[in-house]
Chains A and B, each alone.
Chain A
Amino acid sequence: MRRPEEEEEEERSSPGWRRIPINDNADLLAEILGRLDGRSLAVAGCVCRLWNALARREAVWEVVCYRHVASAGASAAAGGTRSVVAALGGYRRLYRLCIGPALDRLAGVRRRQGPAAAARHVSLSLALSLFSIDCYERLGGGGGRQQQPPPTSLLFLGKPVDVS
Chain B
Amino acid sequence: MKREHEDAGRMGGDDPMAMGPEIAKGKMVPVMRTGDEMECGVDELLAALGYKVRASDMADVAQKLAQLEVAMSSDDASHLPQLAADTVHYDPSDLYAWLDSMLSELNAPPCAQLLPPTATASRGNGHSSTAAKPSAAAPPRASALHDFKPVVSAASVGRVVCDTEQQSEKILSPRDPKRMRTCSSSSSSSSAKEVASSLKSATEALPVVVVDTQETGVRLVHALLASAEAVQQENLKAADALLKQISMLAASQSGPMRKVAGYFAEALARRIYRHSPLPQADRVALDLLHSHFYESAPYLKFAHFTANQAILEAFTSFRQVHVIDFGLKQGMQWPALLQALALRPGGPPSFRLTGIGPPQPDNSDALQEVGWKLSMLAESIGIDFHFRGFVASSLADLEPQMLLEPEGKRRDRDGVEEAVAVNSVMELHQLLARPGAMEKVLGTVRALRPRIVTVVEEEANHNGRTFLERFTEALHYYSSMFDSLENGGDSGADGELEEQQRHRAMADAYLGRQICNVVASEGTDRTERHETLGRWRGRMAQAGFEPVHLGSNAFKQASMLLALYAGGDGFRVEEAEGCLTLGWHTRPLIATSAWRVGPAADFAL
Contacts and interface: CB of A to CB of B under 8 A. Distances in A.
Interface string B43-79: 0000000000000000000000000000000000000
B38 interface: no
Contacts of A136: 331-332, 335, 373-374, 377
B369 A141 contact: yes
Most buried by A among B377, B489, B503: B377
B305 interface: yes
Interface string A57-101: 000000000000000000011001101100110000000000000
B281 interface: no
B55 to A, nearest CB: 57
B90 interface: no
Interface in B289-332: 291-292, 294-296, 298, 305, 308, 331-332
B362 to A, nearest CB: 12
Nearest to B558: A126
Interface of B, helix, strand, loop or mixed by DSSP: helix
Given A139-B376, A157-B564, A133 B295 contact: no
Contacts of A157: 564
Interface residues of B, number: 46
Interface stretch (B115-123, B241-249, B493-501): B493-501
A87 B493 CA distance: 34
B478 to A, nearest CB: 21
Interface in B354-392: 369, 372-374, 376-377, 380-382
B295 A156 contact: yes
B601 interface: no
Interface string A116-158: 0000101101101111110110011110000000001101111
A126 B561 contact: yes
B339 interface: yes
Contact of B332 (A112, A126, A133, A139): A133
A106 B305 CA distance: 19
A30 interface: no
B26 interface: no
A129 B340 CA distance: 7
Nearest to A136: B335
Contact of A153 (B295, B343, B381, B564): B295
A132 B492 contact: no
A87 B295 contact: no
A99 to B, nearest CB: 11
A129 B336 contact: yes
Contacts of A88: 339, 380-381
A105 B566 CA distance: 7
B557 A123 contact: yes
A128 B331 CA distance: 17
A131 B97 CA distance: 69
Contacts of A158: 491-492, 494, 566
Interface string B345-358: 10100000000000
Given A84-B342, A153-B332, A132 B377 contact: yes
B502 to A, nearest CB: 10
B382 A83 contact: yes
Given A139-B376, A158-B491, A160-B497, 9 more contacts: A109-B568, A123-B556, A131-B339, A132-B377, A136-B331, A152-B292, A153-B295, A156-B566, A160-B499
Interface of B: 291-292, 294-296, 298, 305, 308, 331-332, 335-336, 338-340, 342-343, 345, 347, 369, 372-374, 376-377, 380-382, 489, 491-494, 497, 499-500, 503, 556-557, 560-561, 563-566, 568
14 contacts: A77-B345, A84-B342, A87-B382, A88-B339, A105-B563, A106-B563, A125-B343, A129-B308, A129-B336, A129-B339, A132-B335, A136-B377, A152-B503, A153-B332
Interface of A: 76-77, 80-81, 83-84, 87-88, 102, 105-106, 108-109, 112, 120, 122-123, 125-126, 128-133, 135-136, 139-142, 152-153, 155-158, 160
